[in-house]
Structure 1
Amino acid sequence: MKHFLLIFIILLGAAGFSQTKVSGVIKDESNNPVAFANVIFKDSQEGTISDENGRFYLESDKTYKSVIFSFIGYTSKEIDLPSRSNYNMEVILEESAAALDEVVVYSGKTSKKDNPAIDILRKIWENRRQNGVKKFNQYQYDKYEKLEFDLNTIDSALIKSRLFKGMEFVFDQTDTSSVTGNTYLPIFINEAASIVYGDNLLNEEKEILRGNKNSGFENNQTLIAFVKDLYSEYDVYDNYLKFFDKAFTSPLSRTGIDVYNYVLRDSAYRDNKWCYNIIYYPRRKNELTFKGDFWVNDTTWAIKEINLQASKSANLNWVRDVYIEQEFEVLNDSIFLIKRDYFMSDFSFQKKEEAKGIYGKRTTLYDNYAFNIPKDKKFYAQQVDPYNYEVYNRPDEFWEMNRMEKLSKDEKGVYQMLDTLKTVRRFKNLYNLGTTLASGYYEINNFDLGPVFSVFGYNEAEGVRIRMGGRTYFGQNDPWRIEGFGAYGFKDERFKYGLSAKWLLDRKSRLTVFGGNRRDVEQTGASLTNSNDVLGRSLASSTLLSVGANDRLSRINLTTAGFDIEPWKNFILRLTTSYRTLKSATETFSIDYKVMEDGVFTGEIKSELEQAEIQIGFMYAPGRKTSGYGVEQTVINAGDFPSFYASYGYGLKDVLGGDFEYKKIQALYTQPWNIGGFGRLFSTVEVGTTIGAVPLSLLNPIPGNQTYFSMYNSFTQLDYYEFVSDTYASLHLEHNFGGRIFSRIPLLRKLDLREVVGFRAVYGTISQENIDLNASNIVYKAPEDIYWEYSVGVGNIFRIFRLDFNFRGNYFDITDARSFGVTGVFGFSF
Structure 2
Amino acid sequence: MIKHSSLLLCFIFASISYAQNSSKNILEPTQDSIKKRQFIKHLGNGYLPTKYFNFDLRYLIKYNQYEGVRSGLGGVTNDQFSEKYRINSYGVYGFRDHRFKYSIGGGFRVAKKTNTWIDLSYTDDLRETGSTKFLTDGRFFQFFEPRLLNIDLFHKLVTKAINIEHELDPKLLTEAEFAVSNINPTYNYGYVLDGNIVNSFHLSTAKISLQWNPFSKFEVTENKVKETKKGYPQFTLQYTKSFKDVFRSDFNFSKLDFRTIYRIGSKKEGLSEITLVSGITNGNTPLTHLYHAYPNNITKETVMQRFSVAGLNSFETMYFNEFFSDKFTTIQLKHYIKPFNISEHYKPQIVLITRYALGDIKQPELHQDVTFGSLKKGYTESGFEINKLLFGFGLSFTYRYGGYHLPEFSDNIAFKFTFNVSL
TM-score category, normalised to shorter length: 0.7 to 0.9
> Given the superposition, is the C-alpha separation of residues 532 and 671 from structure 1 closer, same or farther in structure 2, using an over 3 Å criterion?
closer
Task: Measure, in 1, the Cα distance between the counterparts of 2:222 and 2:344.
Answer: 46
Are 1:705 and 1:720, in contact at CA under 8 Å, matched by a contact in 2? yes
1:476 offset after TM fit, Å? 9.6
3-state SS, counterpart of residue 772 of structure 1: helix
Task: Measure, in 2, the Cα distance between the counterparts of 1:817 and 1:605.
Answer: 35
Q: Paired residue for 2:264?
A: 673
Task: Measure, in 1, the Cα distance between the counterparts of 2:229 and 2:139.
Answer: 24
CA deviation profile, 1:14-59 (whole Å, cap 9, x unmatched):
xxxxxxxxxxxxxxxxxxxxxxxxxxxxxxxxxxxxxxxxxxxxxx
Q: Paired residue for 1:572?
A: 173
> Given the superposition, is the C-alpha separation of residues 447 and 632 from structure 1 closer, same or farther in structure 2, using an over 3 Å criterion?
farther
Gaps of 5+ in 1: 1-162, 171-185, 190-216, 224-430
Q: How does 1:796-815 map to 2 (within 5 A)?
A: 796-798=388-390, 800-810=392-402, 811-813=404-406
Q: How does 1:356-395 map to 2 (within 5 A)?
A: none
3-state SS, counterpart of residue 718 of structure 1: strand
Task: Measure, in 1, the Cα distance between the counterparts of 2:181 and 2:141.
Answer: 15
CA deviation profile, 1:107-143 (whole Å, cap 9, x unmatched):
xxxxxxxxxxxxxxxxxxxxxxxxxxxxxxxxxxxxx
Q: Paired residue for 2:384?
A: 792
Q: Paired residue for 2:350?
A: 755
Task: Measure, in 1, the Cα distance between the counterparts of 2:123 and 2:138.
Answer: 6
User: Is 1:521 paired with 2:126?
Assistant: yes
Task: Measure, in 1, the Cα distance between the counterparts of 2:103 and 2:412.
Answer: 35
Are 1:652 and 1:661, in contact at CA under 8 Å, matched by a contact in 2? yes
Are 1:717 and 1:820, in contact at CA under 8 Å, matched by a contact in 2? yes
Task: Measure, in 2, the Cα distance between the counterparts of 1:438 and 1:617.
Answer: 25
Are 2:53 and 2:81, in contact at CA under 8 Å, matched by a contact in 1? no
Task: Measure, in 1, the Cα distance between the counterparts of 2:242 and 2:85.
Answer: 30
CA deviation profile, 1:572-620 (whole Å, cap 9, x unmatched):
22222122222222xxx33321222xxxx3xx32211311111223110
Q: Paired residue for 2:242?
A: 651
User: Is 1:712 paired with 2:306?
Assistant: no
Are 2:145 and 2:311, in contact at CA under 8 Å, matched by a contact in 1? no
> Given the superposition, is the C-alpha separation of residues 783 and 628 from structure 1 closer, same or farther in structure 2, using an over 3 Å criterion?
same
Are 2:45 and 2:140, in contact at CA under 8 Å, matched by a contact in 1? no
> Given the superposition, is the C-alpha separation of residues 754 and 471 from structure 1 closer, same or farther in structure 2, using an over 3 Å criterion?
same
Q: Paired residue for 1:767?
A: 362
CA deviation profile, 1:468-491 (whole Å, cap 9, x unmatched):
112212449833321111112233
| Match among 583, 587, 595 for residue 193 of structure 2 | 595
Task: Measure, in 2, the Cα distance between the counterparts of 1:790 and 1:663.
Answer: 33
> Given the superposition, is the C-alpha separation of residues 482 and 818 from structure 1 closer, same or farther in structure 2, using an over 3 Å criterion?
farther
Task: Measure, in 1, the Cα distance between the counterparts of 2:390 and 2:63.
Answer: 28
Gaps of 5+ in 2: 1-23, 299-307
Task: Measure, in 2, the Cα distance between the counterparts of 1:775 and 1:537.
Answer: 36
1:827 offset after TM fit, Å? 2.0
Are 1:689 and 1:728, in contact at CA under 8 Å, matched by a contact in 2? yes
CA deviation profile, 1:71-102 (whole Å, cap 9, x unmatched):
xxxxxxxxxxxxxxxxxxxxxxxxxxxxxxxx
> Given the superposition, is the C-alpha separation of residues 751 and 473 from structure 1 closer, same or farther in structure 2, using an over 3 Å criterion?
closer
User: Is 1:725 paired with 2:325?
Assistant: yes
Q: Paired residue for 1:621?
A: 213
Are 1:611 and 1:659, in contact at CA under 8 Å, matched by a contact in 2? yes
Are 1:504 and 1:513, in contact at CA under 8 Å, matched by a contact in 2? yes
CA-atom RMSD in angstroms: 3.8
| Match among 83, 87, 93 for residue 488 of structure 1 | 93
Q: Paired residue for 1:781?
A: 373
Task: Measure, in 1, the Cα distance between the counterparts of 2:136 and 2:216.
Answer: 22
> Given the superposition, is the C-alpha separation of residues 787 and 717 from structure 1 closer, same or farther in structure 2, using an over 3 Å criterion?
same
Task: Measure, in 1, the Cα distance between the counterparts of 2:66 and 2:225.
Answer: 35
Q: Paired residue for 1:510?
A: 115
CA deviation profile, 1:481-533 (whole Å, cap 9, x unmatched):
2111111223322221012223322122222222312111222324x555598
Task: Measure, in 1, the Cα distance between the counterparts of 2:366 and 2:118.
Answer: 37
Q: Paired residue for 1:447?
A: 53
Task: Measure, in 2, the Cα distance between the counterparts of 1:504 and 1:534.
Answer: 16
Task: Measure, in 1, the Cα distance between the counterparts of 2:236 and 2:67.
Answer: 34
Greater CA radius of gyration, 1 or 2?
A: 1
Task: Measure, in 1, the Cα distance between the counterparts of 2:146 and 2:268.
Answer: 39
User: Is 1:557 paired with 2:165?
Assistant: no
Task: Measure, in 1, the Cα distance between the counterparts of 2:349 and 2:336.
Answer: 7
3-state SS, counterpart of residue 809 of structure 1: strand
| Match among 414, 418, 421 for residue 820 of structure 1 | 414
Task: Measure, in 2, the Cα distance between the counterparts of 1:540 and 1:678.
Answer: 26
| Match among 336, 353, 357 for residue 736 of structure 1 | 336
Letter paired with 1:821: F
Letter paired with 2:192: K
1:813 offset after TM fit, Å? 3.4
Greater RCO, 1 or 2 (C-alpha within 8 Å, sep 6+): 2
Are 2:129 and 2:287, in contact at CA under 8 Å, matched by a contact in 1? no
CA deviation profile, 1:296-346 (whole Å, cap 9, x unmatched):
xxxxxxxxxxxxxxxxxxxxxxxxxxxxxxxxxxxxxxxxxxxxxxxxxxx
3-state SS, counterpart of residue 295 of structure 2: coil
> Given the superposition, is the C-alpha separation of residues 435 and 665 from structure 1 closer, same or farther in structure 2, using an over 3 Å criterion?
closer
Are 2:357 and 2:379, in contact at CA under 8 Å, matched by a contact in 1? yes
Task: Measure, in 2, the Cα distance between the counterparts of 1:642 and 1:497.
Answer: 36
Q: How does 1:202-601 map to 2 (within 5 A)?
A: 223=38, 437-438=43-44, 440-451=46-57, 454-475=59-80, 478-526=83-131, 528=132, 530-531=134-135, 543=148, 545-546=149-150, 550-585=151-186, 589-596=187-194, 601=195
Q: How does 1:99-248 map to 2 (within 5 A)?
A: 187-188=32-33, 223=38
Letter paired with 2:421: G
Letter paired with 1:568: D
Identity %: 20
Q: Paired residue for 1:281?
A: none
Q: TM (normalized to structure 2)?
A: 0.78
